[in-house]
Amino acid sequence: MTWQVIAGGLDAGAIWAPRVATVAARLGDLPMSQAKPENPALEALVDNYIAAWNATDPGVRAARVAETWTEGATYRDPMMAGEGHAGIDAMIAGAQTSFPGLVFRRRGALDAYGDQIRFSWDLGPEGAAPVAGGTDFGVLKDGRLAVVTGFLDFAPG
């Protein structure tokens, strides 16, 4: 069939238009919140998440972790893991020790669908180009993060 389209023997529009219309009609029935939701609560949650990673005062960091994560929450990425408020707080403190002088910044818009959320971040000196960045995927429970899995998009070799 491809050679017939290229040679001009078939009308590709006539072949694909009904299929595209069917898919579009099905998608129209789905909630498409992942297409850049305007949800202040989710925006605030991700901002608190980033603020927790940047909080160097132990009391402030513990409060941010408690606001942002459920009691039994888990975090995993290729470099570290933490479980529960105390474990996540200790993991963040360890990251701050490993990367002194670097701050996390949110990159781009967040995406969400149902109880799932995705957002990206950069890590670098304040006001300078990032040295690392990643994308985190979270599962929400009662307005807080219950599970986060982090992926590195780029990092020093």
Alpha helices, DSSP H, located in 29-114: 40-54, 58-68, 84-98
CATH fold, domain 40-154, is: Nuclear Transport Factor 2; Chain: A, (3.10.450)
Do the beta carbons of residue 155 and residue 79 sit within 8 Å?
no
- Span 83-95, average pLDDT: 98
pLDDT interval class at 22 (50, 70, 90): low
Boundaries of every domain in the chain: 1-30, 40-154
The pTM of the whole model exceeds 0.85 = no
pLDDT digits (tens, 9 = 90+) for 107-130: 999 999 999 999 999 999 999 999
| Alpha-carbon span 81 to 44, nearest angstrom | 23
